[in-house]
């Protein structure tokens, strides 16, 4: 079983914290990798409220996505993980 896990920043100002937002399971690695990339491009994070642009960075095991909003910048990460 393969998983795509979404972790994102929640809150504003000094109250930002990391939170596990979503988990998706898949039967094989190829499907999980494809869905991880799709989510990196399309997932709508809680913050910022008015996204203006998005940068997707790929690294070992997943993606870091930086979302520029009207007044602030937030990021989230998607990890592609194998259940053992």
Q: Considering its fold, how many domains does the chain have in total?
A: 1
| Separation of alpha carbons 7 and 36, rounded Å | 12
pLDDT given for residue 64 in this prediction: 97
How many residues make up the chain in this entry?
Answer: 84
pLDDT digits (tens, 9 = 90+) for 22-79: 999 999 999 999 999 999 999 998 878 888 999 999 999 999 999 999 888 889 999 9
Report yes or no: 64 and 54 within 8 Å, Cβ to Cβ.
no
Find the domain containing 60 and state its range: 2-82
pLDDT given for residue 14 in this prediction: 78
């Amino acid at each position: 079983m393969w998983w795509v896990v979404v972790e994102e920043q929640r809150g504003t100002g000094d109250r930002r914290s990391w939170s596990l937002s979503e988990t998706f399971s898949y039967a094989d690695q190829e499907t999980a990798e494809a869905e991880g990339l799709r989510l990196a491009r399309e997932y709508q994070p809680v913050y910022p409220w008015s996204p203006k642009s998005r940068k997707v960075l790929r690294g070992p095991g997943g993606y870091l996505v930086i979302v520029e909003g009207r007044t602030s910048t937030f990021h989230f990460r998607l990890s592609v993980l194998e259940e053992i």
